[in-house]
Amino acid sequence: QKEVEQNSGPLSVPEGAIASLNCTYSDRVSQSFFWYRQYSGKSPELIMSIYSNGDKEDGRFTAQLNKASQYVSLLIRDSQPSDSATYLCAGKGVQAGTALIFGKGTTLSVSS
């Protein structure tokens, strides 16, 4: 199993819908997780971090962490065309200190 896995997509949703982005991780990833958004040709920017089991909400974004299932997700409510980007899931690696281990990203396309 890769350390952090994401479905590459593309995930297509209509404007106003809920977009659900999923990520699974291996034992080589620690319990701190981050969702970054990356627009084409730009560098990643942090959307949310989550450290504890359960849900964490910030505006239209909700991150969910399930440590037993080694699963983390990001929900985007009321999706907007401006949300169209690649979403990178990252976790802190156990052996590599605090360097982040990134998934390959899921491309989200929100149509108006």
Partner 1 sequence: GAGVSQSPSNKVTEKGKDVELRCDPISGHTALYWYRQSLGQGLEFLIYFQGNSAPDKSGLPSDRFSAERTGGSVSTLTIQRTQQEDSAVYLCASSLGSLETQYFGPGTRLLVL
Beta strand extents in the chain (DSSP E only):
4-6, 11-14, 19-25, 29-38, 45-50, 54-58, 61-66, 71-76, 85-93, 100-102, 106-111
Residue 9 binds partner 1 (CB under 8 A): no
Rounded least distance, CB 16 to partner 1, Å: 29
14: exposed, middle or buried (Cβ count in 10 Å: 0-12, 13-18, 19+): exposed
Which x/- pattern, by CB under 8 A, does the window 13-52 give for partner 1? -------------------x-x-------xxxxx--x---
Residue 63 binds partner 1 (CB under 8 A): no
Residue 102 binds partner 1 (CB under 8 A): yes
Given the rule CB under 8 A, which residues bind partner 1?
Answer: 4, 32, 34, 42-46, 49, 88, 90, 93, 95-105
